[in-house]
Amino acid sequence: MTIAVIQFGGSNCDRDSVQALTSLDFDAELVWHEDGLPEDVDGVVLPGGFSYGDYLRAGAMAARSPIMAEVREAASEGTPVLGICNGAQIGCESSLTPGAFTTNESARFQCEHVHLRVENADTPWTSQYEAVSYTHL
């Protein structure tokens, strides 16, 4: 199973993502956003980091990178896409998910525990690795 980890200017957990996926026996490939998706990918990771600085909205500029059209097409064909931190904002800005992110009320960093509910654990990524805890990813 090959997972493409997309690297944008300003990404900061792209190599960490490759290392984590490799430790779980995935074939993870770091892909520069200008190079396009490899032909046969089984999943895509949009890592965190402040892509392009993003003074406007986090992810707004990275979402307009040509590779994101390929990621949207792959997602529409069923390829799983995981957005981590600002990678989730890139996904939202790219219309991979509906809605929009809002700023915190305080406009300051917040660190809180949140409940994560798995809606569908029967995906290509999880069915083979059911013993892997989601909190470790």
DSSP E strand boundaries for 8-112:
27-32, 43-46, 81-83
Q: 2-103, what's its fold? A: Rossmann fold (3.40.50)
- Mean pLDDT throughout 8-16? 86
pLDDT at 131 (0 to 100): 41
What is the C-alpha separation between 111 and 132, in angstroms, rounded? Answer: 24
pLDDT > 90 fraction of the chain, expressed in percent and rounded: 40
What is the C-alpha separation between 137 and 129, in angstroms, rounded? Answer: 12
Which pLDDT band holds residue 25 (cuts at 50, 70, 90)?
A: very high
Give, as one character, the DSSP assignment of residue 21: H
pLDDT at 27 (0 to 100): 95
pLDDT at 29 (0 to 100): 95
pLDDT at 13 (0 to 100): 87
Which pLDDT band holds residue 109 (cuts at 50, 70, 90)?
A: confident
The reported pTM is 0.74
Name the phi and psi angles at 23, rounded to 5.
Answer: -65, -20
Domain boundaries, the chain: 2-103
Beta bridge partners of 44: 4, 81
- Mean pLDDT throughout 62-81? 93
Average pLDDT of every residue of the chain: 81
E strand or H helix that includes residue 3: strand 2-7
